Amino acid sequence: MREKQAARRLSDDIEQALAGQVVQPADGALLDTALWLAKLGQALPAVPEDLRRRVRAIVRLPAEQQPGQTVATPRWAGGRHWRLRTAVWAVAGLVVMLLVASVFVPGGQRAWASMARSLLGQTRVELTPKVGSETRSVREPLRDLVAAELLIGRALSVPKSLPQGYVLQEITAVSFPDLPAWISQPLFVELC
């Protein structure tokens, strides 16, 4: 609140000083800087008349013509068609960029898969054991994280650090041979 009041006072001081009135500023340094910036335009040389004419010729618009005259505007140069065409090209460019990113950027396919999961929902696999039997699992101990990554074909999600006293003791790949063939195995890797 105090800063807003100080800014308002400074603004009022600047307005009064530019109007030629004598001002007793609260913050003289800021007022001096503002007045110097205001006088900066006066310190620049005058714009040559030839340059003014050339700029006017460039900026001159068809609206300056006689009243009642209509100016034909090409379809590509303005109006609704041009804006629509620009929007269509922008969307097409975005789609092409996303497709290229999914192919050439590392992790692009994972990003597409993650987006598809979030849009379409998670896929759940529920095992229905046969009556009177349990689902059989096969547990394979692995020597290190590199072996686990080579087995599943991607990097594992591991914590960046562990609390003091905790160490990685065991890595196990768990497979379920009774699952359908379209489910990749091992189904998961346990880190203990």
* Closest CA relative to residue 177, chosen from 125, 136, 128: 136
Band (pLDDT 50/70/90 cuts) for residue 70 is low
What is the pLDDT, as a whole number, of residue 83? Answer: 75
Asked if pLDDT for residue 80 goes beyond 90, the answer is: no
What is the pLDDT, as a whole number, of residue 142? Answer: 93
% helix, strand, coil for the chain, step of 5: 50, 5, 45
What is the pLDDT, as a whole number, of residue 55? Answer: 82
What are the extents of the domains in the chain?
2-58, 79-119, 138-191
Which one is predicted more confidently, 55 or 139? 139
Residues 192 and 172: beta-carbon distance below 8 Å: yes
Q: Could you tell me what percent of the chain has a pLDDT over 70?
A: 71
Residues 179 and 161: beta-carbon distance below 8 Å: no
Tokens 């914590």 locate to 159
Query: Cα 158 from chain centroid?
Result: 27
| pLDDT tens figures, 23-37 | 776 666 776 777 777
Asked if pLDDT for residue 61 goes beyond 60, the answer is: no
| pLDDT tens figures, 107-154 | 776 776 777 777 776 666 666 666 555 668 899 999 998 998 988 888
- Calculate Rg over the CA atoms of the chain: 36
As a whole number, mean pLDDT of residues 53-60 equals 80
Q: What is the pTM of this model?
A: 0.32
Q: Which amino acid appears at position 156 of this protein?
A: L
